[in-house]
Structure 1
Amino acid sequence: MAAPYLHPQSSFSEVGLAPNTGAVEEPSRASPPKDTNKRGQSPTVSLTETWTSSPASTQQGSFKEKNGSRTSFGRSSTTSETTWFPEVVCLIIGFASIGAIIGVLAHYNDRTLPQWPYSITLNTIIALLTALANGTLAVPLSNGISQLKWDRFKKDRTVLTDMDLFDQASRGPLGAFNLIARAPGRMMGSFGASITILAFALGPFSQQVATYQNRMVGTDKIAKLPVAVNYTGVLPGDSSSNGYVPILPMKAAVYNGLFAESNPLNPFAVTCETGNCTWPAVDTLAVCSSCIDVTSMMSRYCPNGVPANGDVSTCGWQLPNGAMLNTSTDVFSMTSYLPSPYGLQPYTTILELYFLGTEAQSGPPLNYNPWARQCTLEYCVQTIETAVVDGTLSQNVTQTTTNSTTVNVGSTNGTLPVSITSPNGSSVFISEAAALGIQSWFSDLFMNGSASRNASATVVKDQSVIVNLTVGISSGTTYFDTDIVQTFYWDYYEYADGIGQAMTDLATAMTVAFRTFNGVDKIPGTAYGLEVHLRVRWSWIVVPVLIVLCTILFLAMVIFNANRHKVPLWKGNALAVMFCGMGLDHDSRKLFRGKQSLKERMDVAKHVRVQLDGQGNMAAI
């Protein structure tokens, strides 16, 4: 097909494209032709001469002028102008970048963060790969959209402003949005523009895939747990009933368990360098306590017998074993029983305490409601699970083992230690001397006593503790025989299970004394340290993968469409507009005269329709 017709009187100056420099020099001439159609003093490039091309010259890449001379431009096309190789390479790089992100995240998922040289972090790698993917995927998207404008002009007559619309769409999301809104690109143009907009989410979504969480992991730090397999702490004592007395740490532990308001485990020291440690369940020598309600076994006790009138309101209360409240003025009593070699108690028993009272824990004052508790303290083996969390020690007793064997009345007193077989088959014991020393001291410490509201001389003694109490429903001046009676009385009315808790604290304190005695075993445990690990949220990777797949599909559609319609691969080349030639007639060119601003020319271009012919030239319709 012949070159498009150019009006003899038309020039670039008529459409406002006249250069403000010297005349353009043609490659094959010594000097440019003079332009006779000047406007003012501005030099213009005249298009009054018609250029034609022959098939032979077209094939060789040269043009023939009307005077017969030939100007050869050679083969100036590059690979990017004739193939889709650069776009395919960029697409492969973008695909590989997203694949690398997935691979790196999959490798380090649920693992400790890697330590790389120069303080390079995992976020740096993800950001770098994301930027690489974003940049390389932009090439096929931009060139694909640019190529679609030539397809648009090839297939149908189109307003000139669509040329700019496609160019803007290939440069960023704002132009892409305008392309979608005006929809001149039909399906493929809108599809490519949508991917361009969606591609801006590639970076944020890639960064959201990786999250960092803290967790505890085992370290090589030291974790040691004291465990008692025996106890032999005792001192000789001439003043004791059996010649032995406990060592001072044991006495301190007992007082701490009875009187201290703090946790009786506080003196117990474990080695945990990280502040978070665990140990396997261990068996240790311990002291166990238990309490039961024996109120049903109470009966009236009248020291002088039942009055003749049958009124027992002034009488006290008693249990079958002899524990009693002497009179109605006694509101609380404690009776202790120590095992003897000729008794029927298990020889692991340390002490039995019986508590009786006449006042209820709650209700109106003077609400008489007699009650009785039996509490036992004995040696045992405890299976304990131990942990230190944020520096705070916690223990959980999962199993308790005792020895219920009673003392053989035919045996010699004090020939054997108190021995208990643990669940793992090993034997733990407390030496005979240590057991006798504790028993001797307890016989004085837990002597029988009571609390009374009677201020008579027969009740008040020199060693009595006089306290004006306001605790529970009990109030007023109360007289206590000993400090031990006072503490159990207080605990009963102050707390729901006060006596039982007091016995538990006492047992725990004695167990701590066993486990902190010299020579105890140290069980190794696991010390945990805080570690930051990677947690991958795979749902966030969907958008980056979708962008890559859509870009592949879009480029394939553009390539197929260009081959199908024989559209030149001009893509976004700005020179292509110059090369194709704007075959506007003289009347069409007049429309642009006097239009100085770009906006005015754009308004005119909306009404000028052109179409790309078979030879790659723009022809006005």
Structure 2
Amino acid sequence: MVSSMGLGVAQQQLLSYPNRSIVLPNSTSTVTRANRFDTYQNVTSSGTTTPEISFSLLSSIYNAALSGPAGSISTVNQPFFTCTSGNCTFPPFATLAVCSECFDVSDDVQSSCDANSLCSANFEGLKAQSWQQPDNNNINTILNQTYLPLENSTMLKGGVAGRSSPFSTLAYLQAKSETGNWPPTYHGTECALFWCVKTVNAKVSKGVYSEKVISTDTDITIESNGERRFSLANGTEVTSFVITPLAQESIQGSGGVTQHLSGWAKGSGYNRVFSSDLMQGFSTQANVTEVMSRVATAMTNRLRDFDGTTPPVNGTTLGKESFIRVRWAWLAFPVALWIFSLIFLLTVVVMSREGETKWGMRAWGANSLALMFHGLDEDARSRIREGEWEEMEDLSERLWVKLEKGSEGLKLRARRVEG
């Protein structure tokens, strides 16, 4: 009886009703990829038409540079995708991409300060100046960045970028000086942007798109006509990724990425001035490497949207379904209780059958005569022998009893015996 109090708990824990993901066969999920880049704008000046970087691609660069805290990328920089349920998975796929590589070369920065608290730094032809006002407000060239010839950089030449014909190489000189921190700290960084092919795993979870890079291929071939090409083998199938000559010129030429990423930012405790909005974005973020990585990601996702000739990747659309889960371990308690109860019942039956011969006891079952006769007076009980229920049954048909109150309290007393 005590153990049976746990049956309710066991029954509640036996069944649960969780949700699981199922494939929705009639739903659509896609994400863009690029096998070809051939997007640019033609700009005519002084009778000459020159391909320049497209407005859409340039906007993605601005968005990445001005997107706020390090590591955050606006959803504008995500590739186009469809996922009707908000939860989708995609098979691994390869796409044309932009990669970045940066090196910290602060040890190459030459800096000095004179007796008048005027400090200056030089790095790869870049200059930064800093000085203090009497009220401790520092005036600095916060950031200076410009084109860096690849042959001038040992680190970029020896890195992945040097083997991948980068379309943009830049040198950065940063000065960091806040009130109470003098002289300023100068940092030098060298970065490159170059073409690559990325193999990625993508998914959409609760409406949020994310992807993980599995591998990166940087083995590019430049054809005689200026076309740049990657060839990626998957078993017996070879996929080509192409950058056309005019599109390459728009990225690398006079109106390309390097021109827009070059400039300066100056400031003091009073105000700041910038050569462009992009320089404002760069100067407000401490880590140039992270900004360049965001720029590369933004360009990658945007050029994936440009390529209308490459079909998107089809994914699997997932939905939620409720089901019944049986936790069989919780069934052990009621089953064990049932088995022990059965054993107890059988034991009582067996021992009751042996009771008359072994202990002089008989099984009365549901018959209440024994209880009734036990409450009678001595005279009535003396008319039967102990344990003889046949005599008790016979006497009960001839015996009249009455419930009377006496010195011992309420008691059944025999009043008449017939026959």
- Please confirm whether the aligned pair reaches a TM-score higher than 0.5, indicating the same fold: yes
Residue among 8, 28, 39 paired with 1:222: 28
* Shift in alpha-carbon separation, 1:203–1:448, aligned structure 2, 3 A: closer
> Which residue identity does 1:477 align to in structure 2?
N
CA offset at residue 222 of structure 1?
2.2
Residue among 249, 256, 264 paired with 1:450: 264
* Shift in alpha-carbon separation, 1:269–1:429, aligned structure 2, 3 A: same
Equivalent-residue separation in structure 2 for 1:396 and 1:225 (angstroms): 14
User: Which residue is 1:535 aligned to?
Assistant: 325
Equivalent-residue separation in structure 2 for 1:339 and 1:229 (angstroms): 27
Secondary structure of the 2:39 match is coil
- Preserved contact between residue 325 and residue 331 of structure 1 (Cα < 8 Å): no
- Preserved contact between residue 265 and residue 509 of structure 1 (Cα < 8 Å): no
CA offset at residue 570 of structure 1?
4.7
1:427 aligns with 2:265: no
Higher share in helix: 1
Map 1:302-313 → 2, pairs under 5 A: none
Residue among 260, 276, 292 paired with 2:67: 260
CA offset at residue 594 of structure 1?
6.4
* Shift in alpha-carbon separation, 1:286–1:338, aligned structure 2, 3 A: farther
1:333 aligns with 2:140: no
> Which residue identity does 2:92 align to in structure 1?
A
1:521 aligns with 2:311: yes
Equivalent-residue separation in structure 2 for 1:558 and 1:239 (angstroms): 110
Equivalent-residue separation in structure 2 for 1:582 and 1:549 (angstroms): 41
> Which residue identity does 1:208 align to in structure 2?
Q
TM-superposition CA deviations, 1:218-274 (whole Å, max 9, x none): 332322222212222233332397721334322332222222346244443311121
TM-superposition CA deviations, 1:28-84 (whole Å, max 9, x none): xxxxxxxxxxxxxxxxxxxxxxxxxxxxxxxxxxxxxxxxxxxxxxxxxxxxxxxxx
CA offset at residue 300 of structure 1?
5.9
User: Which residue is 2:185 aligned to?
Assistant: 369
TM-superposition CA deviations, 1:117-138 (whole Å, max 9, x none): xxxxxxxxxxxxxxxxxxxxxx
1:477 aligns with 2:271: yes
* Shift in alpha-carbon separation, 1:393–1:427, aligned structure 2, 3 A: same
Secondary structure of the 1:280 match is coil
Residue among 188, 194, 217 paired with 1:401: 217
Equivalent-residue separation in structure 2 for 1:552 and 1:314 (angstroms): 98
Question: 1 or 2 for the larger relative contact order (CA 8 Å, sep ≥6)?
Answer: 2
CA offset at residue 346 of structure 1?
5.0
* Shift in alpha-carbon separation, 1:528–1:587, aligned structure 2, 3 A: closer
Equivalent-residue separation in structure 1 for 2:262 and 2:341 (angstroms): 92
TM-superposition CA deviations, 1:181-205 (whole Å, max 9, x none): xxxxxxxxxxxxx4xx544544552
Give the alignment's TM-score, normalised by structure 2: 0.72
Aligned-pair RMSD on alpha carbons? 3.9
- Preserved contact between residue 265 and residue 512 of structure 1 (Cα < 8 Å): no
Give the alignment's TM-score, normalised by structure 1: 0.51
CA offset at residue 384 of structure 1?
1.6
TM-superposition CA deviations, 1:553-572 (whole Å, max 9, x none): 12221221232235766522
User: Which residue is 1:288 aligned to?
Assistant: 99
* Shift in alpha-carbon separation, 1:581–1:283, aligned structure 2, 3 A: same
* Shift in alpha-carbon separation, 1:378–1:574, aligned structure 2, 3 A: same
Map 1:68-467 → 2, pairs under 5 A: 194=1, 198-199=3-4, 201-220=6-25, 221-239=27-45, 243-261=50-68, 263-266=73-76, 267-299=78-110, 316-319=120-123, 322-325=124-127, 330-337=141-148, 348-360=165-177, 364-403=180-219, 415-422=225-232, 424=234, 426-440=239-253, 441-442=255-256, 445-446=259-260, 448-452=262-266
- Preserved contact between residue 562 and residue 568 of structure 1 (Cα < 8 Å): yes
1:544 aligns with 2:342: no
CA offset at residue 355 of structure 1?
0.9
The runs of 5 or more residues in structure 1 that have no matched partner are 1-193, 302-309, 454-473, 609-621
CA offset at residue 293 of structure 1?
0.7
> Which residue identity does 2:24 align to in structure 1?
T
CA offset at residue 403 of structure 1?
3.0
TM-superposition CA deviations, 1:515-566 (whole Å, max 9, x none): 2122332222222222223333333222211222122212221221232235
CA offset at residue 491 of structure 1?
1.6
CA offset at residue 432 of structure 1?
1.6
> Which residue identity does 1:450 align to in structure 2?
W
Larger radius of gyration: 1
Secondary structure of the 2:85 match is coil
Secondary structure of the 1:539 match is helix
* Shift in alpha-carbon separation, 1:575–1:295, aligned structure 2, 3 A: same
CA offset at residue 214 of structure 1?
2.5
Percent of aligned pairs sharing the same letter: 25
The runs of 5 or more residues in structure 2 that have no matched partner are 131-139, 152-156, 384-400, 414-419
Residue among 507, 511, 534 paired with 2:296: 507
Equivalent-residue separation in structure 2 for 1:388 and 1:202 (angstroms): 43
How many residues align? The count is: 361
Equivalent-residue separation in structure 2 for 1:581 and 1:448 (angstroms): 113
CA offset at residue 286 of structure 1?
1.0
